[in-house]
Amino acid sequence: MSQNDPRNAPRNDPSNDLQRIIDFRISFARRQAGEVREVPGGFLVLHRQYERSHEHNQLHITGPADPEGLPELADEVMAFLPHRRITVHDEALGLISVPALEQAGYTHVTEVLMVHTGPVPEAGAADVVERELGPDPHGLLRRAVTAQQWRWMPDADEKTVHDLVERRTARRAGAEEVLFLAAHDDSGEIVSWADLYLEPAAGVAQIEEVATAEPYLRRGYADSVLAGALRRAAAAGCALRFLVADQDDWPLRWYGRRGFRAVGRVHSFSRF
């Protein structure tokens, strides 16, 4: 293993961790896209198959950019889309972009990048297995995710819910290995789930969309899924394990109690 191998990166260097996370997220966005268009200061990802998924149809700003010009740039390159979504990966640039984008009608969300620094949990008795969203429309995981999506968005239309559920298929291309983890209750129903994106060559893993069906909240199922994801990431040689949490939402504190700490922030802007 060479000195420059990312797996040799010191684990006590938050700035190093932050850059590796940003690089991973940019690579993931590009690899899972149906189409990538280079634009000044970044790139646009598109996936016409999941057009209601803002994750898959958005503008990523990765380099120097004029904050005042971002609204015009988004209107130009996303003119054919009904929404606008911009992710600014540089924290300082994102902050100074807030006034111009809010004035243009965008809603601003600060996303916190959190690294796991606690011990990897021991295996427990809970049943946590990999379950892929395969072609079976009646699959247990698909059924559970769809039902919960309707609870979150009762006024949505069928196309929106379909795209938000089925977009996991696109995510399979985002990393070297992509797992969908699920916890079951005694009857075999899937009650909690999460995505796990593994890039062992880089030593990086992301845990994403940890969720529990509302009828099963506060029973420890999300803990089981999160612990299972951390164990699998560690077993794959991914020493840098991270996730993304909304700065203003309660999961930020929940993750903090489970060994995650903030190493940086990115800024997301949306307009409908």
Which pLDDT score, from 0 to 100, does residue 220 have?
85
SS3 state of residue 211: strand
What is the rounded distance in angstroms from the CA atom of residue 186 to the CA atom of residue 194? 19
Residue found under tokens 């164990």: 231
Sheet strand arrangement including 190-199:
35-39, 42-46, 58-61, 84-88, 260-271, 107-116, 240-246, 204-212, 190-199, 177-184, 128-130
CB atoms within 10 A of CB 133: 19
Question: Which pLDDT score is estimated for 132?
Answer: 59
Residue 197 phi, psi dihedral angles, 5° rounding: -110, 120
Contact in structure between 100 and 238 (CB atoms under 8 Å): no
Helix or strand holding residue 170 (H, E): helix 168-171
Burial (CB count within 10 angstroms: exposed 0-12, middle 13-18, buried 19+), residue 30:
middle
Q: What is the spatial distance between Cα 134 and Cα 66, in angstroms, rounded to a whole number?
A: 43
Q: Which long-range contacts (CB under 8 A, 24 or more apart) does 156-161 make?
A: 159/52, 160/52
What residues does 64 pair with on adjacent strands?
A: none
Tell me, rounded to whole angstroms, the distance of Cα 61 from its chain centroid. 17
pLDDT of 85 reads 98
pLDDT digits (tens), the chain, 272 positions: 333 444 334 455 666 999 999 999 999 999 999 999 999 999 999 999 999 999 999 999 999 999 999 999 999 999 999 999 999 999 999 999 999 999 999 999 999 999 999 899 887 755 566 665 665 645 888 999 999 999 999 999 999 999 999 999 999 999 999 999 998 888 888 999 999 999 999 999 999 999 999 888 988 899 999 999 999 999 999 999 999 999 999 999 999 999 999 999 999 999 99
Supply 108's token pair.
């601003």
pLDDT of residue 134: 60
What's the predicted TM-score (pTM) here?
A: 0.90
- 28: which DSSP letter? H
**Residue 59: closest CA among 34, 77, 32:** 77
Residues 99/84, Cβ–Cβ less than 8 Å: no
- Reported as type and span, the H/E element at residue 31 is helix 14-31
DSSP 8-state symbol, 8: G
pLDDT value, residue 36: 98
Render pLDDT for 144-181 as a digit per residue (tens, 0 to 9): 999 999 999 999 999 999 999 999 999 999 999 999 99
